[in-house]
Amino acid sequence: MNHYTLWHALIGGILIGLASLLATVLSGKIPGISGVFSFALWQSAALFRPMRPLVVMAIAGLLVGFGTRLGGGCTSGHGVCGVGMGAKDSIAATLIFIVTAMMIVFIYNRVVL
């Protein structure tokens, strides 16, 4: 299990791509994790017990929802489906996600650690 190779990434990427293609064909909509969660997890969401205070979780959820709406979709929607379809806005959004994440990790490692 500890021998992760580029083949694993390639096979995983192909499977994700095929799954998103199948979901698009069957539903007529471009899939993304935010849409999947909103559809599939309402019953199990009632069982969730947050590790942080409810106010913090609510603010974090609002920020994620705002960012998803502002970006026109979530990272998986843009990164997997949008880039796979060659959508210019998804390519731009994915690049912004990656660069922002890299900057945050760099800042975090310099300031916190």
Which pLDDT value is given to residue 7? 82
Q: What is the pLDDT of residue 62?
A: 86
pTM of the model: 0.54
Written as six digits, the tokens of 92 are: 């731009």
The candidate with the shortest Cα–Cα distance to 93, out of 56, 68, 61, is 68
C-alpha to C-alpha distance for 70 and 86, rounded to whole angstroms:
20
What whole-number distance in Å separates Cα of residue 50 and Cα of residue 55? Answer: 10
Is 73 exposed, middle or buried (CB count within 10 Å of its CB: 0-12, 13-18, 19+)? buried
Domain ranges of the chain: 32-111
Q: How much is the pLDDT for 46?
A: 61
| Plot region of 3 (φ>0 → left; ψ -120 to 50 → alpha; else → beta) | beta
Q: pLDDT truncated to tens, each residue of the chain (113 aa)?
A: 567 677 877 887 788 888 878 888 888 877 766 666 666 666 666 666 767 788 888 888 888 888 888 878 777 778 877 887 788 988 998 898 889 889 988 898 888 76
63-to-69, 95, 105, 112 alpha-carbon distances in Å? 10, 20, 19, 23
Q: Give residue 99's pLDDT.
A: 92
Q: What whole-number distance in Å separates Cα of residue 93 and Cα of residue 109?
A: 24
pLDDT exceeding 90 applies to what percent of the chain? 4
C-alpha to C-alpha distance for 69 and 77, rounded to whole angstroms? 12
Average pLDDT, the chain: 79
